[in-house]
């Protein structure tokens, strides 16, 4: 609590003296968003606080940032920088990760009203599907959990859960956003495939699998019609976030890297009829081999390293700053956050 308060005080100070006041260009601030959900939306319960903004907050962010930055399309800026002619001054590029359906329902109207250029990174094989990312599956499982379910798990599954420090002694009501965040963080040491397999086992012992797995009829991710409509607006451009949201870690084979990185670019070109020049590393993970494949297939890529980007810096490791509702409820907090200073 005190830590959070201290941080918000620091953010207010950074709002007063941050680089959005004094830094001269050319330079680029790239922001990361994920989900855009109104207050009271049921999906908010199974989402990490660091993934969410409301449509009203998004509109406030856009309005505030326009006073300090010139909005640009990320690929335009990178291309101009490569040609030695980046736009002067402080530029702003907005990005959305994962391709959530709410980006069409709740962000697109805000994007249109603000005339804001954005890049949206799609997980190509999941477009139009009812796929759920493992952190969301895990959050739903924790919310539906009761210690009595543990007795129906086989020993191997239990051992694996314990080794990942997944608490099996909690009841769902105790699964606060902070606890869910912490468990997700600990599980990141395991591969995506292992986590999905483990969640298959756990969901099977929950009495009402649909309460853990979500409403069968719900589709969380964009479909291709929504993608095309957004693309046709000219405001939204699409990049790749791999085919299956596979984290590009050392354990992937060369053929998998090729498939996830170059394969997703081919799919985007085929579905949208235009090239997708940018890539986004899932969870920010990038092995040296993955980096080489990305460099071969794209014009640039965004990372999860925090900070501003400048001409001459690596266009395949563009820094970004996440600005979700938990850190940017007010314009002072937002502007403090985008300073990129450590700890904000
Ligand atoms: Zn992602």
- Tens place of pLDDT for every residue, the chain, 344 residues? 677 777 777 777 777 788 888 888 799 999 999 999 999 998 888 788 889 999 999 999 999 999 999 999 999 999 999 999 999 999 999 999 999 999 999 999 999 999 999 999 999 999 999 998 999 999 999 999 999 999 999 999 999 999 999 999 999 888 888 899 999 999 999 988 899 999 999 999 987 655 444 454 589 999 999 999 999 999 999 999 999 999 999 989 999 999 999 999 999 999 999 999 999 999 999 999 999 999 999 999 999 999 999 999 999 999 999 998 877 788 888 888 898 877 67
How many angstroms is it from 154 CA to the middle of ligand 1? 31
SS3 labels along 149-215: HHHHCCHHHHHHHHHCCCCCCCCHHHCCHHHHHHHHHHHCCCCHHHHHHHHHHHHHHCCCHHHHHCC
Helix (H), strand (E) counts: the chain: 15, 10
How many angstroms is it from 5 CA to the middle of ligand 1? 29
| Residue showing tokens 């805000």 | 110
Burial letters 99-109, b for 16+ CB under 10 A, else e: bbbbbbbbbbe
How many angstroms is it from 22 CA to the middle of ligand 1? 32
Rounded CA gap, 9 and 344, in Å? 10
How many angstroms is it from 34 CA to the middle of ligand 1? 8
Residue positions counted in the chain: 344
How many angstroms is it from 164 CA to the middle of ligand 1? 21
How many angstroms is it from 60 CA to the middle of ligand 1? 24
- Contact predicate 139/48, CB 8 Å: yes
The predicted model scores a pTM of 0.91
How many angstroms is it from 283 CA to the middle of ligand 1? 6
How many angstroms is it from 17 CA to the middle of ligand 1? 32
How many angstroms is it from 222 CA to the middle of ligand 1? 14
Beta bridge partners of 149: none
Q: Where in the chain is the domain with CATH 3.20.20.370?
A: 2-129+220-337
Rounded CA gap, 34 and 53, in Å? 8
How many angstroms is it from 242 CA to the middle of ligand 1? 9
Pick the CATH number of 2-129+220-337 from 3.20.20.370, 3.30.930.10, 3.40.50.300, 3.20.20.10: 3.20.20.370
């Amino acid at each position: 609590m005190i830590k959070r308060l201290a941080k918000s005080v620091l953010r207010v100070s950074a709002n007063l003296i941050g680089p959005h006041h004094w830094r001269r260009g050319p330079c680029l601030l790239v922001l990361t968003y994920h989900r855009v959900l109104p207050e009271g939306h049921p999906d908010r319960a199974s989402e990490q606080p660091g993934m969410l903004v409301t449509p009203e907050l998004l509109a406030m962010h856009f309005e505030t940032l326009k006073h300090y930055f010139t909005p640009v399309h990320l690929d335009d800026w990178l291309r101009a920088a490569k040609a030695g002619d980046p736009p002067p001054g402080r530029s702003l590029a907005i990005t959305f990760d994962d391709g959530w359906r709410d980006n069409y329902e709740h962000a697109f109207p805000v994007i249109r009203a603000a005339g804001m250029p954005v890049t949206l990174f799609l997980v190509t094989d999941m477009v139009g599907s009812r796929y759920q990312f493992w952190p969301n599956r895990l959050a739903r499982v924790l919310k539906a959990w009761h210690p009595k379910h543990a007795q129906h798990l086989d020993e191997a599954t239990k051992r694996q859960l314990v080794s990942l420090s997944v608490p099996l002694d909690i009841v769902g009501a105790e699964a606060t956003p902070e606890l869910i965040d912490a468990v997700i963080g600990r599980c990141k040491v395991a591969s995506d495939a292992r986590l999905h397999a483990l969640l298959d086992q756990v969901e099977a012992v929950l009495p009402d699998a649909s309460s853990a797995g979500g409403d069968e009829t719900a589709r969380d991710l964009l479909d291709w019609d929504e993608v095309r409509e957004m693309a046709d607006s000219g405001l939204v451009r699409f990049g790749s976030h791999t085919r299956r949201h596979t984290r590009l870690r050392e354990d992937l084979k060369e053929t998998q890297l090729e498939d996830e990185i170059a394969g997703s670019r081919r799919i985007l070109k085929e579905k949208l009829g235009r090239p997708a020049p940018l890539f986004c590393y899932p969870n920010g993970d990038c092995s040296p081999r993955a980096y080489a494949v990305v460099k071969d297939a794209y014009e640039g890529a965004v990372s999860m390293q925090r900070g501003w980007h400048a001409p001459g810096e690596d266009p395949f490791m563009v820094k970004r700053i996440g600005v979700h509702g938990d850190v940017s409820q007010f314009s002072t907090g937002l502007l403090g956050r985008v300073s990129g200073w450590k700890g904000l």
